[in-house]
Amino acid sequence: MVTLTDIERESYKNSPIHRLDPRVKLLFALAIIIYVVSLPRIHEKNMIHLFAIEVYLLLLVLVSGLDLRYFFLRIVAILPFGLGIALIQPFLRPSFIENYTLYPVDLPLGLSITYEGLAFGSTLLAKFLVCITAIVLLSSTTRLRDMVSAADRMGIPREFTLLLSMMVRYLFLFWAVLKRIRIAQQTRLFDIWNKDVPRRWAIEQVGNSMSAIFIRSYEQGERTYISMLCRGYGRGYEKAYYRTKIRIPDIFFLLLSACCILYIHLYI
């Protein structure tokens, strides 16, 4: 199981990727996502381009020295969200495709598979895989507070960065609260998958745990907001930037990545 502590521990490692400026890594991830999304919906070279981008990202993972087990576990945990959407595409007929070629297979309930649907579904899944690989690489090599500060310095609206900074600050706190609740349930031999107890009672216990976390988060939010007001929040002095500048290795990484993307798009 990958926990929040494991994810944050990975970002404290020392490697050429970890030492890059957070703004550079954020721009790199956004550039990868924009390029992948901008690819045609159906094209014969889509899979080649996406495969090459994925190989480049995996090379960066190896250079950064990340724990491959945690890295791929995080990808596997996110993958089902896009997998379900991609799996239904072969059975659909999108409006942007004029002519369909039926796949020679008989299916029940009047379902039919098209070659165009298979191509679109596979491309959609590959795009999703490349995007989440870039995001996981970014989050695994960048501390959460540095990522929020980088977004703030890049001009992201202050309301978004404020919400993100508060989430980052108290995410680990509520994870610890949830962990204590789970330990208390385990000491009382509670198991949601236990078939010897009524299912309704087990669901009620889970609901009680969620209610407790909600109430504690509400109370903690009230106390935090009052403390912020007492310390002068809202007067324009609450921004705190890290004092770093774009260095030569950062510029070299951006140029190298841009050249790789252009080469993949034009010559592969």
Which letter, b or e, does each residue of 43-63 get, where b requires 16 or more Cβ atoms within 10 Å of its Cβ? eeebeebbebbbebbeebbee
Which CA distances in Å does 100 have to 45, 112, 116, 219? Answer: 19, 11, 6, 57
Decide if 112 contacts 14 (C-beta within 8 A).
no
- The reported pLDDT for the residue numbered 50 is 94
Decide if 116 contacts 101 (C-beta within 8 A).
yes
97-116 per-position pLDDT tens digit: 777 787 777 777 767 788 88
214-256 per-position pLDDT tens digit: 888 788 878 887 887 887 766 554 555 556 788 999 999 999 9
Which letter, b or e, does each residue of 203-232 get, where b requires 16 or more Cβ atoms within 10 Å of its Cβ? eeeeeebeeeeeeeeeeeeeeeeeeeeeee
Closest alpha carbon to 125 in 79, 74, 58, 90: 79
Cα–Cα distance, 135 to 142 (Å, whole number) = 11
- The reported pLDDT for the residue numbered 259 is 94
The token duo for 51 is 């495969």
pTM of the model: 0.79
Give me the residue spans of the domains in the chain: 4-142+246-267, 158-230
Decide if 99 contacts 42 (C-beta within 8 A).
no
- The reported pLDDT for the residue numbered 64 is 93
| pLDDT beneath 50: ranges in the chain | 237
- The reported pLDDT for the residue numbered 5 is 67
H or E element, residue 209: helix 199-230
Cβ contacts of residue 175 below 8 Å, gap of 6+? 3, 4
The token duo for 207 is 């609901």
- The reported pLDDT for the residue numbered 236 is 53
Amino acid at 40: P
- The reported pLDDT for the residue numbered 166 is 76
- The reported pLDDT for the residue numbered 4 is 63
